[in-house]
Each structure stands twice: as structure tokens, then as C-alpha cells.
Structure 1
Amino acid sequence: MAAQTTSEHRIRTLAFLQVALALQTLALFFQAVTAGMLLSSSHGHVLHDIGSRVMYGASMVYVLAAILAWRPGGGSPRPLLYASGFLVLASAQVVSGIAHLPSLHVPLGVLMFGLSVLALGPVLSVRLPRRSGTRSSGTRS
């Protein structure tokens, strides 16, 4: 029974980590879209400002998910290092945006989006452990 509870906890924390990282990646993509809108629309500034808050919050949620996957779940600390790095980059991104430094802000945003996509791949490809009550219906080759 304890093994089943540990397995269910691992499934939940891994799913939370996947959702948090996917949210962060989507928020960064939204920021790229609204950055383009800054050039062509009067609403671009408002959307980019709102998106920056969502992106920063998503980075904090990613750190929380990484802590929960690592510490109580007994997982690898690597996602926590990635999440902490993203939070540092997000902080630098916010500072450079407020200071109106597009020569730093734009490349940093591109870097963050690329790193987020690269981090998302391995997290989404992790196979979740099967529950003890299910059986495979496929044939072996």
C-alpha cells in the first residue's frame, strides 16, 4: 500500500511539473507574440505587460513544482536547478524590460523561450509508472 501511495505521489508531482513547465513555455511564446504586437498595435503594450506578470508567476510555479518533485518525491534535483535558473533569467528579463533595454531584453527573451522548449521535451517524454491494477493488452514481439 505504501508503494502505491508513493507511486501515485510521483505521478501527481511529475504531472504538476509537466503542466508548470508547459505553462511557462506558453507564457514565453505569448510574450514573443505580444512583443511583435508592440510594433503594430496600441494594445500590444498592455498585453505584453500582463503577459510578463503571467510569465514571472509561471516561473515561480515551475520552481514550486520542481521542489515538490524533488524533495518529497525523491526525484532528481536537476529540475530544481533548471527552474531556479529560469527564475533568475525571468528576474533579469523583468529588470531589462522595466529599464527599457531592448538590446538585452529581446535576446534574453529568445534565449528563455529556447531553453524552456528544450527543458519541456525531456519532461514530457518521461513515462509515468503504471498503476498496479492495470495490465498490458498488447502482444510481445
Structure 2
Amino acid sequence: MTAPMIAKQRSLTFLQVAVALQTAALFFQATTAGLLLVTSHGEMVHGVGARVMYGASMLYVLAAVLAWRPGGAAPRPILYATGSLVLASVQVVLGIAHVRAVHVPLGVLMLVLSVLALRGTGRRGGRP
């Protein structure tokens, strides 16, 4: 294997790890949303999870850019990662404002999109 191929493989692996982390954080958020209804400490756990999820979304953008760098993977994951970060930003604002009618469906949409992106990063070329 040549050095550029090894670097490309590492960047794709980093992208896969970043998407997997984001997907896990979103799944954790879905779980802790249920805790909000039944426990007194659910809001704190959900708030901490929100910060982790937002950080994971930023990491996804970084990983997509590093995977794309000239000679790397396709630039399409950058679009997906940026869209994910925008949705995460909207989600945080809606959560703080307690607009559950939009916050909950958007969270479900984000989880589905993240699972699809995770499925797509396993394909040849890292294209979700």
C-alpha cells in the first residue's frame, strides 16, 4: 500500500468513527428524552448529552473535511456534515426554548439521517 492510500484509509476511518459517535450521541439523546418524563435528573442528563451531541456534530464536520482534502474522498460528506451541524444548532435552540412539537420530530429526523450517513460511510469512497 502506498502512503497516500494509507492516509486516505485513515481519514475515511476517522469519518466513520465521527459519524458513529454522532449516531450514538443522538441515540443517547432519544433515550434520555424518555428520562425527562420519569425522573428528576433527566433534564441534567439530557443537557449533558446535548453538549456531547453538538461536539460530535462538529467532529463530523472536521472528519469530513479531512477525508475530502485534495486527493481524498468525495466532498459530498462535507455537505452532509454541515447540514447535520445546522440541524444540531436548530435542535439546541428549540430545546432551550422548550418547543417540543418541533424538537422531538427533528430529533427523530436527525437520528435517521445519522444512521443513513453511518451506513453510507461504509461504502467505497466514503459517500453517504
Identity %: 63
1:32 aligns with 2:50: no
Query: Any gaps of 5 or more consecutive residues in structure 2?
Result: none
Equivalent-residue separation in structure 2 for 1:50 and 1:72 (angstroms)? 36
- CA drift of 1:125 comes to 3.8
C-alpha distance in structure 2 between counterparts of 1:40 and 1:123, whole Å: 36
Higher helix share: 2
Superposition deviation, residue 75 in structure 1: 1.5
1:14-72, CA deviations, whole angstroms, 9 ceiling, x for partnerless residues?
00000000000000000000000000011211110000000000000000000000014
Structure 1: stretches of 5+ with no match in the other structure: 129-141
- Alignment deviations for residues 61-93 of structure 1 (CA, whole Å, 9 cap, x no partner): 000000000014422011000000000000000
| 8 Å contact from structure 2 (residues 74, 125) kept in 1 | no
Contact 1:67 1:80 in 2 (8 A): yes
Which residue in the other structure is 1:86 paired with?
Answer: 84
* Structure 2 counterpart of 1:68, one-letter code: L
SS at 1:94's partner residue?
helix
**2:122 match: secondary structure:** helix
Q: TM-score, normalised by structure 2?
A: 0.94
Structure 2 SS opposite 1:54: helix
Distance 1:42 1:104, change over 3 A: same
| 2:27 partner amino acid | F
Equivalent residue, structure 2, for 1:62: 60
Which one of 16, 24, 41 corresponds to residue 43 of structure 1? 41
Q: 1:103: which partner in 2?
A: 101
Q: Distance in 1 between matches of 2:42 and 2:106?
A: 19
